[in-house]
């Protein structure tokens, strides 16, 4: 190997460095995650002159918050915590073709009315971006396009133009000539993110970074990428379905549980103002095994339809299937029903599905899953105007959940007449009138309702 060059092995999951290849990462304990990167040793005397660091007292730090930049897309602003924070670095991840570039181009369309925006693409040509923009409507001249992957050239353009918002599509295509590895490698992704972080903090520019995801659903590249940015947004949904969910999994400026719901149309992504009504459209009438439950995503209650199908098994090993919720949680609840409620489900196949393809893992939907299973097992339909929520414990008790008043208010707004909820949460729901509240303590009381 040439003098001055050596090989370093990086863990793609956590960014841990080793001098040799290892089968298991000693830091995160993941297997087969080490990749080889060739790095060039710094030349003697090449170090920059260090400037003296300034120490500031905590009492001398100003707490005046800068005004957030509103995108006028309410679903986007909600997930970001109220708008774009100047000088923030936001990572947007998602499956290929899910709509990441479309969403960010729509944000550019809204903000280009008054601000200068720079859209940097390393994957599409100018003509391709123009074709996608034509479907969305007119754009102002404040939107500037740059098709480039060289990090040094991109940095010089940003420092010269000083736009108020920059979109990088995508981080895996950017490369620095100072790093001797291919674009998309661990070293290149880490170096590129570090450069954009310095630009965002130093110049006060808000930067959005598009990140590819692996087959496991995480952002490709080193895990340290998500630690470096201020906000991590995941764009979820089925490519063959029309709806999309934007979920915040990290946010230094707001809640990490907020979601935004969009619908993919010919002219781009449209906001879904009332996702509960959208999720409940097309519900079957007088059908057993179908119940409406309420789940909280951040501060937003969402009503979902839980479907269950329990039928006699033809094999010695009954089959269990869960779509949209945790498979192990369904098995746990079926064991509780068999032990505490006396239902003999060991010889029955069970299929649980959350309609619409949405994924929910909140414990508050436990009671909805239990009622759907009982309804299908006994072949008794549940009242269409009834909604349920509550956590079920291993002793068969129905435990309290957070924000019960907001859940009941959302149910009343959509026309539901009866709400089954934990007895301990019933006293907390005092400000909502016009809906009948049924408090339950155990799943045996739920059986009596059916």
Q: How far is CA 118 from CA 52, 208, 365, in A?
A: 33, 10, 43
What is the full DSSP assignment across 409-440? HHHHHTT--EEEEEHHHHTT--S--SSEEEEE
Cα 371 to Cα 341: distance, rounded to the nearest angstrom:
12
For residues 167 and 157, what is the distance between their CA atoms, to the nearest angstrom?
13
Residues in CB range of 331: below 8 A, 6 or more apart? 320
Question: Any known ligand binding at 96?
Answer: yes
Contact in structure between 390 and 422 (CB atoms under 8 Å): yes
Give the C-alpha separation, 367 to 438, whole Å: 13
Annotated ligand binding at 97? The verdict is yes
Q: Binding residue per annotation — 94?
A: yes
Whether the Cβ atoms of residue 267 and residue 245 lie closer than 8 Å to each other: no
Cα Rg, the chain, nearest whole Å: 26
Rounded to a whole number of angstroms, the distance between the first and last alpha carbons of the chain is 75
Phi and psi angles of residue 84, each rounded to the nearest 5 degrees, phi first: -85, 125
Helices (H), ranges, 346-416: 366-378, 404-413
HSE toward the beta carbon, residue 420, CA cutoff 13 A: 30
**H or E segment at 9?**
strand 5-11
Residue 372 CA to residue 198 CA, distance in Å, equals 52
Q: What is the distance between the alpha carbons of residues 100 and 98, in angstroms, rounded to a whole number?
A: 6
Is residue 248 a known part of a binding site? no
- Is residue 38 within 8 A of residue 181, CB to CB? The reply is yes
Rounded CA gap, 286 and 380, in Å?
9
Distance CA 416, CA 428 (A): 19
Binding residues: 94-101
Binding residues for ATP: 94-101
């Amino acid at each position: 190997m040439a003098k001055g060059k050596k090989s370093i092995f990086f863990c793609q999951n956590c960014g841990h460095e080793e001098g040799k290849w290892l089968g298991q990462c000693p830091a995160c304990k993941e297997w087969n995650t080490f990749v080889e990167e060739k790095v060039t040793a710094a030349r003697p005397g090449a170090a920059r002159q260090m400037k003296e660091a300034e120490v500031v007292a905590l009492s001398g730090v100003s707490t005046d918050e800068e005004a957030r930049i509103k995108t006028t897309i309410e679903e986007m602003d909600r997930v970001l915590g109220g708008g774009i924070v100047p000088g923030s670095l936001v990572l947007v991840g998602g499956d290929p073709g899910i709509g990441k570039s479309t969403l960010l181009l729509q944000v550019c369309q809204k903000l280009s009315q008054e601000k200068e925006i720079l859209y940097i693409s390393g994957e599409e040509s100018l003509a391709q971006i123009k074709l996608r923009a034509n479907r969305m409507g007119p754009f102002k001249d404040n939107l500037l396009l740059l098709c480039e992957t060289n990090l040094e050239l991109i940095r010089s353009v940003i420092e010269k133009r000083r736009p108020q918002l920059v979109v990088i599509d995508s981080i895996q295509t950017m490369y620095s000539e100072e790093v001797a590895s291919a674009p998309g490698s661990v070293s290149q992704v880490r170096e590129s993110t570090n450069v954009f972080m310095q630009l965002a903090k130093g110049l006060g520019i808000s930067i959005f970074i598009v990140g590819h995801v692996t087959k496991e659903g995480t952002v490709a590249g080193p895990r340290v990428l998500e630690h470096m940015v201020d906000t991590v947004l995941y764009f979820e949904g089925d490519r063959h379905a029309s709806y999309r969910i934007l979920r915040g999994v990290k946010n230094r400026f707001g809640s990490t549980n907020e979601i935004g719901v969009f619908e993919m149309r010919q002219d781009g992504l449209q906001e879904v103002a009332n996702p509960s009504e959208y999720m409940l459209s097309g519900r079957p009438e007088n059908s057993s095994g179908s119940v409406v439950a309420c789940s909280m995503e951040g501060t937003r209650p969402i009503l979902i339809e839980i479907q269950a199908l329990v039928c006699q098994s033809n094999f010695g090993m009954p089959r269990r299937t869960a779509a949209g919720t945790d498979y192990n949680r369904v098995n746990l609840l079926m064991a509780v029903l068999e032990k505490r409620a006396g239902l003999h489900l060991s010889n029955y196949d069970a299929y649980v599905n959350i309609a619409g393809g949405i994924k929910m893992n909140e414990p508050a939907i436990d009671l909805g899953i239990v009622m759907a299973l009982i309804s299908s097992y006994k072949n008794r339909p549940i009242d269409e105007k009834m909604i349920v929520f509550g956590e079920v414990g291993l002793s068969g008790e129905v435990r309290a959940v957070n924000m019960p008043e907001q859940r009941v208010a959302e149910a009343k707004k959509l026309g539901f007449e009866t709400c089954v909820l934990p007895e301990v949460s019933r006293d907390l729901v005092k400000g909502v009138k016009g809906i009948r509240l049924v408090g339950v303590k155990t799943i045996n009381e739920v059986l009596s309702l059916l």
